[in-house]
Amino acid sequence: MLRAIVALFILVSFLPNASRAAEVTIRFPVEYSLDITPGLANQEFKRLVEERTKGRVEVKLFPSGSLYKGLDLLQALLRGDAEMTTLISAYWSALSPRLAVFELPYVFPTKEAFYKAVDDGFFEQAYGEVESKGGKIIGVLPFDYLVPGTKRTAIRNPRDMAGLKMRGLGRVNLAMLKALGATPVSLNFVELSPAIQQGVIDGLNVPTDNYLIYKWNESIKHVTYANYYIAFYPWMVNATWWNKLDPELRKIIQEVAVDVARRHRERAEAESQKAITGMRAVGVDVHIQTPEERKVWIEATRPVWKEFETQIGPQLIERVQQYGK
């Protein structure tokens, strides 16, 4: 009997880590497909966390709103019904109004300006109120600019937006579309495909790779690459869960988040260029906004900055403007 027990112990000791029960499970629901650019980063995060913790941590991804979506996803994280998520910044401004700073038109005129803000700790400062309410940011995933695409109208100037029903996200983005002359329609991500098919909207306002991955290029025939709003996904965890986590595991997860997010910058840029090439290959008119056009759009959307100045606070606005200079 003793020999049998010893033999069983030795056998279990040499079993692969994957076959052992994980000590920690991270429920990680997201709104989008794992095939889009942030989804690729989430897959890499899962793989590296499980590898580096030698199976002590299991990451369970729930894509495409299959578990929660929109504000329900945000609330689930804060309640502790999910340990981790990524939601586009506009959702978080519902919890912390000053986060609308990230949605101001042309606040990051270049991706380099955005990365300066990430590396300088600006995001930790901005998301401080979220942390006081139960969330903690452990990384920032860049995506791409939200770019307008329409079924029938090529958009070069604000007047081209006149009367178009355009999908927007968040109060600032909706105000910006209105300032450009469009009729903004607030829809969460999972509502977009039926809205296009049923004619609820005339156009979209999404990152470049979305047009091909979700086959929206079948309806959208004109896209303008305008850098008025860079989409990014803060990697957020439930703060209570995070603080109770084994320090060794917490350190590994944090290191993976930093490593993946930094490598993801190159991936995000490559996927953006691939999407532009891919759209053009299937007949979509993709126009890159010129510096002259950008000046006109900046002037048209300037009132939006004034409208949200009190909500965001002058100090945060002053600091974020430094990165774009």
CA distance 84 to 195: 29
pLDDT-based confidence at residue 54 (cuts at 50, 70, 90): very high
Find the mean pLDDT for residues 54-59.
98
One-letter amino acid for residue 305 of the chain: W
Q: What is the pLDDT of residue 20?
A: 64
The overall longest dimension of the chain from CA atoms, in Å, is 85
**Does residue 14 have a pLDDT over 70?**
no
CA distance 49 to 52: 5
**Does residue 5 have a pLDDT over 60?**
no
- Residue 86 contacts by C-beta under 8 Å, 6 or more apart in sequence? 30, 38, 42, 141, 233, 234, 235, 236
CA-based nearest residue to 135, from 76, 88, 65:
76
If one counts every other C-beta atom within 10 angstroms of the C-beta of residue 6, the result is 10
**Does residue 3 have a pLDDT over 60?**
no
Q: Which of 68-72, 147-151, 186-190, 206-210 has the highest mean pLDDT?
A: 147-151
Q: What is the pTM of this model?
A: 0.86
**Does residue 322 have a pLDDT over 60?**
yes
Start-to-end CA distance of the chain, whole Å, equals: 75
For 200-248, what is each residue's pLDDT tens digit?
999 999 999 999 999 999 999 999 999 999 999 999 999 999 999 999 9
If one counts every other C-beta atom within 10 angstroms of the C-beta of residue 263, the result is 12
CA distance 188 to 286: 24
SS3 sequence, 132-170? HCCEEEEEEEEEEECEEEECCCCCCCHHHHCCCEEEECC
Task: Look at 11 and 200; give whichever has higher pLDDT.
Answer: 200
CB 144 within 8 A of CB 32: no
| Residue 284 dihedral angles phi and psi, to the nearest 5° | -85, 130
**Does residue 10 have a pLDDT over 70?**
no
Q: For helices 247-281 and 37-52, give the axis angle rounded to 10 degrees.
A: 150
For 113-171, what is each residue's pLDDT tens digit?
999 999 999 999 999 999 999 999 999 999 999 999 999 999 999 999 999 999 998 89
CATH code, residues 20-323 = 3.40.190.170
